[in-house]
Amino acid sequence: MSSRIDRRTALARCAQVASAGTASVWAPGKIARAQGATPISVRVLLDEPIGRIKPALYGQFTEHIGGVIYDGIWVGPDSKVPNIDGIRKSIVEHVRRLGKIVIRWPGGCFADSYNWRDGIGPRNKRPRRFGRWQEDTESNQFGTHEFLKFCRLCGAEPYLAANVGTGTAEQFQHWVEYCNAPAGATSLADERVANGDPEPFRVRYWGVGNESWGCGGKFTPEDYCTQYRRFTEWLPGYGVPHYLIASGPNGNDLDWTRRFFKKWTDYARAPLQGWAAHYYCGTTGHALNFTRDQWYEMLEKANRMERLIDDQWAVMGEFDRARKVKLLIDEWGCWHPKGTELNPHHLFEQKSCLRDALCAALTLDTFNRHANKIDMANVAQLVNNIHTLFHADGDKFVATPNFYVFEMYRPHHDAQAVRMDVQGPSISFQANGPQKIFRVAGSASQVDRRVTVTLVHTHASEPAEVSLALRGGSADRVQQTALTHKTLSAHNTFENPHEVVPQTSSTAYRGASFTCILPPASVTRLDIALA
Ligand code: AHR
């Protein structure tokens, strides 16, 4: 059954959604501005599956840098901050809400000078080292056992990055053995048992270096490929099917990819499952202080992820015709200039506002749309850092709008991504000349009779009227959740932690097609129960 509701009704319902929470969300007074808005058509093609959306696409990254580990995650068992064996309780409780994601550690650039042996054994005997990022002591209080415990508490899967920069293949192989060999099988396994963990950690994801074109050793792609082969060619599995990850390009650098894969194809074909690119979409203006053009410019830069995926995938396919190697984006996010740190010691800490939340949402939608190509992605970084989900400082803790986007997108986990077609006008803006960005983009997925549609609406001030059609199904019930704010730079603070949070409301939408209203500058999720 198809039922179209008229615009006035839709607007009124949208107002209900928008005003359900704090008064600061999209104000009903602005509804009239939707009148005459150019309609946007969204077709959800339930009969065109793309691939399973792995929860790993919603992964996180945690590095020994600034306040990510120390303060963010690790407060120590003697801290007054509520903790579980030294791990901040509030972060565990929040990360659990993100589903069965993957968390990458210990870097980043830090990984390529890290000796894993420094971080095991009694904590009061661990060596203190020079911190990689700041002229600060690395206390090694947080090491392999602490990280694995953090993952277990969060219900997340670990992803460890090995040191290729200053480490050896042997050290890497020993780390794998220490983590995964069964108790009693080897001396390293017994050392793990003595350090408190009788059961093997069964770590599946192993990264071989980080940014090997840069801080990870400034290799040429060919030289890195030789190192990669040395590190991985003979690696015992201890009953764990390894997922080995090579250090991919800086952004969409096709030369790095082509030259690595050429060498890999020509002489090695060492075991390789994942090719990890990093893409930071840089900044436009200050984290919180930006013009309307810079709002659009940032979103447009985030949207370049799509091109990166398509281009990298095409080059990988020139060498890996069987498509055994998948793409990973194990660092991504908007990286703004200094000036909004909550704690001066938290290197690269930046406030994340509504603009970053939309960048996160459109990036996650991009991953969903390419679910057949990408196996994992890790936003940089979980707490007190670049495109961060949380800020923590002593006993204070707050979730940023990015966290709420990740939580909103959770129904996509393990669902089948289906193709979505969006037709509508674009928005013009100025950034070194005239540019354009889409007005609405998103992704869709299905599990059983449940369809999830997520939509990013970029327009800074006008609502959008979306005609949504389901091909291959009909809606029985629809719930709408929206994250938005009347101020583009709105963000959550320790004092006001719920300034930007999603609002949910039931709707009367029904049938194979219906019209819904998206607030300006918003992320929307439609939970559709099929008839
Ligand atoms: O995320 C911060 C740093 O950015 C990482 O250590 C490095 O891999 C990247 O350049």
Residue 375: both structure tokens together: 């196996």
Tell me whether the omega of the peptide bond preceding residue 28 falls within 30 degrees of 0, making it cis. no
Q: Whose CA is nearest to atom 8 of ligand 1?
A: 108
Counting from 1 in the atom list of ligand 1, the atom nearest the Cα of 214 is: 10
Catalytic residue among 63, 331, 462, 465: 331
Instruction: Write down the residue that tokens 């506002």 correspond to.
Output: 353
Least confident of 276-285, 306-315, 371-380, 503-512: 276-285
3-state secondary structure string, 75-139? CCCCCCCCEECCEEHHHHHHHHCCCCCEEEECCCHHHHHCCHHHHCCCHHHCCCEECCCCCCEEC
3-state secondary structure string, 245-299? EEEEEECCCHHHHHHHHHHHHHHHCCCCCEEEEEEECCCCCCCCCCCHHHHHHHH
**pLDDT per residue as tens digits for the range 102-140:** 999 999 999 999 999 999 999 999 999 987 787 688 999
SS3 content of the chain, % helix, strand, coil (to 5): 30, 30, 40
- Note the pLDDT of residue 130: 86
Q: Does the Cβ of 386 fall within 6 Å of ligand 1?
A: yes
Q: Does the Cβ of 380 fall within 6 Å of ligand 1?
A: yes
Is residue 407 part of the annotated active site? The answer reads: no
pLDDT band at 527 (very low <50, low <70, confident <90, very high): very high
- Note the pLDDT of residue 37: 59
Q: Which residues contact 528 (CB under 8 A, 6 or more apart)?
A: 450, 451, 452, 453, 470, 475, 477, 478
Residue 332, amino acid = W
- Note the pLDDT of residue 135: 67
Higher pLDDT pick, 266 / 52: 52
Average pLDDT over residues 517-531: 97
Phi, psi for 219 (deg, rounded to 5) = -80, 160
**Does residue 14 register a pLDDT over 80?**
no
Q: pTM of the full predicted structure?
A: 0.94
**pLDDT per residue as tens digits for the range 236-248:** 999 999 999 999 9
**Does residue 4 register a pLDDT over 60?**
no
Q: Does the Cβ of 63 fall within 6 Å of ligand 1?
A: yes
3-class state of residue 187 by DSSP: helix
Least confident of 129-143, 288-302, 346-360, 453-467: 129-143
**Does residue 501 register a pLDDT over 90?**
yes
- Note the pLDDT of residue 22: 30
**pLDDT per residue as tens digits for the range 80-99:** 999 999 999 999 999 999 99
Average pLDDT over residues 464-490: 97
Q: Whose CA is nearest to atom 9 of ligand 1?
A: 108
Mutate to test the pocket of ligand 1, among 65, 69, 331, 381 (most ligand atoms within 8 A of CB): 331
CA distances to 166, 272, 292 from 134, in Å? 18, 33, 35
**pLDDT per residue as tens digits for the range 391-416:** 999 999 999 999 999 999 999 999 99
**Does residue 29 register a pLDDT over 70?**
no
Counting from 1 in the atom list of ligand 1, the atom nearest the Cα of 133 is: 6
Residue 209, amino acid = G
pLDDT band at 27 (very low <50, low <70, confident <90, very high): very low
- Note the pLDDT of residue 36: 55
Average pLDDT over residues 16-21: 33
**pLDDT per residue as tens digits for the range 189-209:** 999 999 999 999 999 999 999
**pLDDT per residue as tens digits for the range 172-182:** 999 999 999 99
DSSP label of 357 = H
Counting from 1 in the atom list of ligand 1, the atom nearest the Cα of 110 is: 6
What CA–CA distance (Å, rounded) separates 14 from 8? Answer: 10
What's the whole-number average pLDDT of the chain? Answer: 92
- Note the pLDDT of residue 484: 98
**Does residue 16 register a pLDDT over 50?**
no
Is residue 93 part of the annotated active site? The answer reads: no
Mutate to test the pocket of ligand 1, among 62, 163, 215 (most ligand atoms within 8 A of CB): 215
- Note the pLDDT of residue 136: 80
Chain centroid to CA 322: how far? 27
- Note the pLDDT of residue 33: 38
Q: Does the Cβ of 109 fall within 6 Å of ligand 1?
A: yes
Q: Which residues contact 129 (CB under 8 A, 6 or more apart)?
A: 118, 137, 138, 140
**Does residue 2 register a pLDDT over 60?**
no
H helical segments located in 184-247: 187-194, 221-232
